[in-house]
Amino acid sequence: MLKVWINGAGGQLGQALNDVIDNMEYEIFNSDISELDITDVDEVLSFGKINRPDIIINCAGFTDVDACEKDPKTAYRVNALGARNLSIVAGEIGAKMVQLSTDDVFDGRSDFPYKEFDFATPNTVYGKSKLAGECYVKEFTNKHFIIRSNWVYGKGTNFVRDFIELSKKQNSISIATDQYGSPTSANELARFILYIIKTNEYGTYHATCNGSCSRYAFAKEIMKLTGITVQINEVPSDEAHLTSIRPAYAVLDNFILEIENVYTFPRWEDALATYIKEMED
């Protein structure tokens, strides 16, 4: 039985991994900020050497984009040094390392979906700190999977749940029409991670549900699936509800997965329909 250490287990992806993983196949070690401070290298090394996982999955991160701008030191401690510390212990014990990253490593000025080989030029502190984390992972362990995704929703706070809750309180909601991405189910992303860790196909992957849309189109699809009748207004990002400073164009191309022809994500509309149904059941 392989040992898997899921750090950031209380987040959306950490919970999704615990929901979809086969407990007969893996022994799980869960940790979150209350159990382990990933910015403390000695604490991380101690945990890793005592439990000796075969796979380390780092789902943890300081992900509040606006908060990162106000507190860059914390952003770099968690997103960069935390990834460094986990990859150091992965290298020392020979574990595979999975580092979750983001579309924010790109500047959002492209007219075409970003491939894994496109040059990363982040504009935000969040994006810069996550890119620094990627670099540390590459530096300290060869057996790594860097997985970039975007617009992830699952259990906890996310655009889907926030939109539904806001629709209960307001008659109209303003949604950005100038932000584009690929809404991605945390469960679908977790299933991909559980697939890729069984391989030795190390490297950087873009991993999102297929297709893309604007925030406005995303909201319209949520309305269609839930029966919500709130009025939504098309506005630019700086006038929108539920929107932080993000790259305007955040669409990732799952290029490596396509050329390897080994794994296919569902359409974002289908994954969203499944998610909404599970919320309602």
Catalytic site positions: 126
Interior/surface letters 232-248, b for 16+ CB within 10 angstroms, e for the rest:
beebebeebbbbbbbbe
| Integer Cα distance of 100 and 161 in angstroms | 22
DSSP notation for 67-93: HHHH-HHHHHIIIIIHHHHHHHHHHHH
Taking the C-alpha atoms of residue 278 and residue 83, their distance in angstroms, rounded to an integer, is 32
User: What's the burial of 54, exposed, middle or buried (CB within 10 Å: 0-12/13-18/19+)?
Assistant: middle
Give the burial string for 5-21 (b: 16+ CB within 10 Å, else e): bbbbbbbbbbbbbbeeb
Spatial distance between the Cα atoms of 205 and 168, rounded to a whole number of angstroms: 38
